[in-house]
Amino acid sequence: MPLQQTMNANSQENQDFGMQFVTSCDLPMPWATFQLHAFVEQSTGKEHLALVLGNVANGLPVLARVHSECLTGDALFSQRCDCGPQLQAALQSIAKEGRGVLLYLRQEGRGIGLLNKIRAYQLQQEGADTVEANHHLGFEADLRNYNICLPMLRHLQIQSLRLMTNNPRKIAALEQHGIQVSERVPLIIQSNPHNQYYLNTKASKLGHLLPGDK
């Protein structure tokens, strides 16, 4: 089938699952040249990305990271969280292996949005932890939705993930939506004085695994 027809067929297939593939291109990065795939979530209009390296469609488990957008951490180098370092570490690990995928989901602030995340930061400055701040603003601790991952992975013909995460709940959520996770790969980042309380809260209240945990 010609390339354009294949793209149109894939676009229609993903649209049926609420996610439409739009286009792809090469993206040179400091660690390797990834292939960047762009998708649109039909119900919200949000744009999501997949960064792919190597042959991920051969049926073997794929080293993967499912990373929710964190503008302050990913782009502005905030030390309040570990998001930016985890993003870079995941891309470095994929480049080192020569094969993998990173799904970049537009779910800022665990789903509450950028402005509300900044409001939550102000509450944290006043002594609240990240969970208490979300609750004070009227939100659940984590509002992220992982059902958008399945059509993206189907488009890429990925069948199973070796998932880089410290969050067992993320694995459970992905599996609930029909995604096979064959292995959890720890993604441990050195803490700093600004995010130690945040990391401790993620461990104690959100079930994240600290270094040394299985």
> Which residues participate in catalysis according to the annotation?
142, 144
Q: Is 34 helix (H, G, I), strand (E, B) or coil?
A: strand
List, in sequence order, every beta strand (DSSP E) within the chain. 19-28, 33-41, 47-53, 62-68, 100-105, 160-164, 180-185
Pairing mode of beta strands 62-68, 47-53: unpaired
- What is the distance between the alpha carbons of residues 123 and 199, in angstroms, rounded to a whole number? 17
Q: Is 35 helix (H, G, I), strand (E, B) or coil?
A: strand
* Residues 67 and 122: beta-carbon distance below 8 Å: no
Pairing mode of beta strands 160-164, 62-68: parallel
Quote the tokens at residue 141. 């601790």
- What is the distance between the alpha carbons of residues 57 and 100, in angstroms, rounded to a whole number? 10
